[in-house]
Amino acid sequence: MPATPQIVDSHCHLDFPDFAEELPQVIARAQAASVTRMVTICTRLGNAPQVRTIAETHDPVFWAGGTHPMSAAKEPMASVEDLVALARHPKFVGIGETGLDYHYTSDSAAVQQESLRRHIEAARRTGLPLIIHARAADEDMARILTEEHRAGAYSCVMHCFSSGPALAAAALDLGFYLSMSGIAAFPKSAELREIFAAAPVDRILLETDAPYLAPPPHRGKRNEPAYTAHTARVGAELFGLSDADFAARTSANFDRLFWKAAQWQQAA
């Protein structure tokens, strides 16, 4: 009998108040849905101790940290050294999320760009993947990622990818990954699904961005890691693969990019 497919939720926010009352149950439901690993993301470095504790307490959970672009002008500017220091934790597996968001916070574009470049340098120094948030900033995002990659290679995932085909092509040309969230399962996301379908399947990750962006049939409700399985089914259909094959391919992609999480699992 084939093994049950194991799915990875590569990006969620388990420290958010939405989960405060039932975090153990949320993680248990994820595991029951074959979502066997989760990466919980710290969006403000001041919250790092809380996020780290979640990863330390729950074996299936890893963590990453950085300054979200929408907070870049409100938070103290993270130094490269600050980010490198976080990376010394054995379950810290990625740098970010960082990036550019001009939808609500275009007035802080210059600060966001400086923060992004610092996170990129930390990704270079640690060898950990950069986790990118991009919204309404495709041209600047493609330009900065390309400029910085020419200055020194680094790895990266475009988290919750929902941008246009030009940014997808730029990211893929640099060897980066695109992460498929519940948005890809929304009925009106046909153009986004076309972008994913045109990408190599070995560059696709899965995520929830929980508590946000729940896929059907839970749209409009609080998202949680267990619902990665719904997005995985949409992705399998998109790539013409069985559910098991798509789960295996995306999990292998995760292990390749988030190598530190893969090493932890092997050692466990």
Which pLDDT tens digit goes with each residue over 127-157?
999 999 999 999 999 999 999 999 999 999 9
Q: What is the DSSP string of the chain?
A: -PPPP-EEEEEE-TTSGGGTTTHHHHHHHHHHTTEEEEEEEESSGGGHHHHHHHHHH-TTEEEEE---GGGTTTSPPPPHHHHHHHTTSTTEEEEEEEEEEHHHHGGGHHHHHHHHHHHHHHHHHH-PPEEEEEES-HHHHHHHHHHHHHHS---EEETT--S-HHHHHHHHHTT-EEEE-GGGGSTT-HHHHHHHHTS-GGGEEE---TTS-PPTTSTTS---GGGHHHHHHHHHHHHT--HHHHHHHHHHHHHHHSHHHHHHHHH-
Find out whether 13 is annotated in a ligand binding site. yes
Find out whether 119 is annotated in a ligand binding site. no
- Return the residue matching tokens 């990750």: 205
Q: How far is CA 128 from CA 93, 155, 258, in A?
A: 6, 7, 7
Encode the chain (268 residues) as per-residue pLDDT tens digits: 345 679 999 999 999 999 999 999 999 999 999 999 999 999 999 999 999 999 999 999 999 999 999 999 999 999 999 999 999 999 999 999 999 999 999 999 999 999 999 999 999 999 999 999 999 999 999 999 999 999 999 999 999 999 999 999 999 999 999 999 999 999 999 999 999 999 999 999 999 999 999 999 999 999 999 999 999 999 999 999 999 999 999 999 999 999 999 999 778 6
CATH 3.20.20.140, domain 7-263, yes or no: yes
For 257, residues 6+ apart whose C-beta sits below 8 A from its C-beta are: 129, 155, 157, 177, 205
Q: What is the DSSP string of 8-66?
A: EEEEE-TTSGGGTTTHHHHHHHHHHTTEEEEEEEESSGGGHHHHHHHHHH-TTEEEEE-
User: Cα separation of 162 and 195, whole Å?
Assistant: 9
Angle between helices 109-126 and 138-151 (to 10 degrees): 30
pLDDT 10s digits, 20-34 = 999 999 999 999 999
Find out whether 209 is annotated in a ligand binding site. yes
The pLDDT of residue 266 = 78
For 164, residues 6+ apart whose C-beta sits below 8 A from its C-beta are: 138, 195
Find out whether 133 is annotated in a ligand binding site. yes
Q: Look at residues 75, 83, 124, 117 and name the one whose alpha carbon lies nearest to residue 100.
A: 117
Find out whether 22 is annotated in a ligand binding site. no
Find out whether 97 is annotated in a ligand binding site. yes
Tokens of 230: 């719904």
Residue 240 CB burial class (10 angstroms; 0-12, 13-18, ≥19):
exposed
